[in-house]
């Protein structure tokens, strides 16, 4: 079995992704400007073309990479991936990032990125309670770090945790209004994590928010989107067989059920429609002894991706 590369512990520069960033990167890298593919090789040039400071340039590059929108070239530059062009390109399905299905796909890509994004990997796959706050999560995140990691300070782990949370939860101002900066994070719209209360920190005595994952069914995770993610999960998990069992799909590390926080019934309902939603690529077989997905023909990931938007 292939050994997973070390997870990404930094790169976001403490900024959550923002609405305009991914479409802007695709536009700039696809522009007719000379050496457009070297956008991130020259940070000063990127600052001018993207209209942000140096730290934000690095953050934009990080989010565009882990979202599967761009990939590095051997020359040191970057190019827009086929996924990126298919979604956000000039004739893409969703060039202005307006569809919920696109946001779920971006969430999927970040959460299953290789190398893994550490806080997504840990919180989505290995934190098994519905609610959490930082005081509880800190020792859990510290224990999961690679042995030789230099990122063990409470402040560093706290910064990473905040980026994870603020990707999905808008921060409110003193009077309860949502601050403008947080509206720029597109995945807030998914409602994956919510504030459900607060409790005092035992050491400082100050109240800290309690967060909770949304484990409800999610209509925007359509049958077609689920079928695409099954094909991606099959590839990412390096599973070479022609079958995949129900438990792996519903609760395995990096699985659609786990990453989308879907209840088992919701996973089963999507699997029952899988032959249709995957255009015959997969089928779900269920009996008293077997619950598994069977690969019926060669997977065409791009066709499955296009089908998400054709089905809307």
Mean residue pLDDT of the chain comes to: 91
CA distances from 278 to 76, 101, 174 (A): 37, 16, 47
Report the distance separating Cα 57 and Cα 94, nearest Å. Answer: 23
Q: Which residue has the tokens 């520069």?
A: 13
Query: pLDDT tens for residues 285-306?
Result: 998 888 999 999 999 999 999 9
- Asked if the model's pLDDT at residue 178 lies above 80, the reply is no
Q: Which two tokens stand for residue 33?
A: 């400007």
Q: For residue 277, name the pLDDT band (cuts at 50, 70, 90).
A: very high
* Confidence band for 149, pLDDT divided at 50, 70 and 90: confident
> Closest Cα to residue 169, out of 139, 154, 189?
189
pLDDT in tens, 182-237: 456 899 999 999 999 998 877 777 889 999 999 999 999 999 999 999 999 999 88
Q: Which of 56-65, 82-91, 133-142, 237-246 has the lowest mean pLDDT?
A: 237-246
Using a CB cutoff of 8 Å and minimum separation of 24, what contacts does 160-163 make? 160/9, 160/10, 160/12, 160/118, 160/119, 161/119, 161/134, 161/137, 162/14, 163/12, 163/14, 163/15, 163/16, 163/119
Of 131, 128, 68, which is closest to residue 102 (Cα–Cα)? 68
pLDDT at position 1 over 50: no
The Cα angle at residue 189 between residues 185 and 195, in degrees rounded to 5? 90
| 163 contacts 15 by C-beta, under 8 angstroms | yes
- The average pLDDT across 130-153 equals 90
Q: Which domains does the chain have, with CATH numbers?
A: 21-96 (1.10.10), 118-213 (no CATH), 223-310 (1.10.10.10)
Q: What's the pLDDT score for residue 76?
A: 84
């Amino acid at each position: 079995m292939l050994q997973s590369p070390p997870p990404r512990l930094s790169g976001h520069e403490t900024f959550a992704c923002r609405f305009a960033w991914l479409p802007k990167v695709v536009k700039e890298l696809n522009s007719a400007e000379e050496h457009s593919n070297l956008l991130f090789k020259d940070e000063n040039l990127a600052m001018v073309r993207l209209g942000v400071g140096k730290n934000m340039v690095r953050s934009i590059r990080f989010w565009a990479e882990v979202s599967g929108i761009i990939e590095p070239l051997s020359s040191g530059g970057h190019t827009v991936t086929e996924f990126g062009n298919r979604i956000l390109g000039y004739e893409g399905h969703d060039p202005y990032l307006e569809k919920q299905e696109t946001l779920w796909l971006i969430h999927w890509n970040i959460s299953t990125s290789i190398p893994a994004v550490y806080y997504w990997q840990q919180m989505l796959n290995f934190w098994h309670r519905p609610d959490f706050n930082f005081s509880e999560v800190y020792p859990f995140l510290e224990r999961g770090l690679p042995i030789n990691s230099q990122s063990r300070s409470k402040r560093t782990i706290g910064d990473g945790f905040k980026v994870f949370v603020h990707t999905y939860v808008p921060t409110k101002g003193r009077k309860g209004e949502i601050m403008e900066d947080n509206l720029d994070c597109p995945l807030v719209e998914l409602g994956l994590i919510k504030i459900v209360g607060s409790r005092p920190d035992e050491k400082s005595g100050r109240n800290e928010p309690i967060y909770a994952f949304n484990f409800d069914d999610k209509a925007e995770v359509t049958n077609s989107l689920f079928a695409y993610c099954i094909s991606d999960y099959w590839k990412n998990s390096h599973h070479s067989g022609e079958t995949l069992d129900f438990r792996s799909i519903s609760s395995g590390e990096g699985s659609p059920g786990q990453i989308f926080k879907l209840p088992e019934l919701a996973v089963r309902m999507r699997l029952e429609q899988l032959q249709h939603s995957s255009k015959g690529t997969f089928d779900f077989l269920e009996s008293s002894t077997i619950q598994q997905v069977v690969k019926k023909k060669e997977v065409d990931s791009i066709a499955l991706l296009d089908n998400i938007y054709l089905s809307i």
